[in-house]
Amino acid sequence: MNSILRSGEYSRQKTIKAGGIFMIVQDVVFNSVEDAQRFVSQAERWPSDVDVSLGSCMVDGKSLLGVLSLGIHKKLHVTIHEKPEN
């Protein structure tokens, strides 16, 4: 999971448990298209959902077009959903 959150600049990471599902939330700023590409490349390998949002707009973190549509040099909110381990 840390490999997903290596591109760009980040704030502190939080882990939230909601209804038996863990979510890792963190703010990120991509300084270039290449930062966003690295993020999406890692997110595509992640088995769970990855969401990126800006205000009320939310996109799939596994979609480069979606992530870029939110903008470069903006503070984006990343949520990585963790499935419970059996």
- Report pLDDT for 77: 94
Reading the block at residue 20, the tokens are: 């038996």
Exposure string for 70-82, b = 16+ CB within 10 A, e = fewer: beeeeebbbbbeb
Residue 69 CB partners (closer than 8 Å, separation 6+): 59
CATH of 13-82, one of 3.40.50.300, 3.30.2450.30, 3.40.50.150, 3.30.1340.10: 3.30.1340.10
Q: In sequence order, what are the beta bridge partners of 21?
A: 18
Q: Could you tell me the sign of the dihedral formed by the alpha carbons of 10, 29, 70, 7, in that order?
A: negative
Q: Residues 18-56: pLDDT tens digits?
A: 666 788 889 999 999 999 999 999 999 988 899 999 999
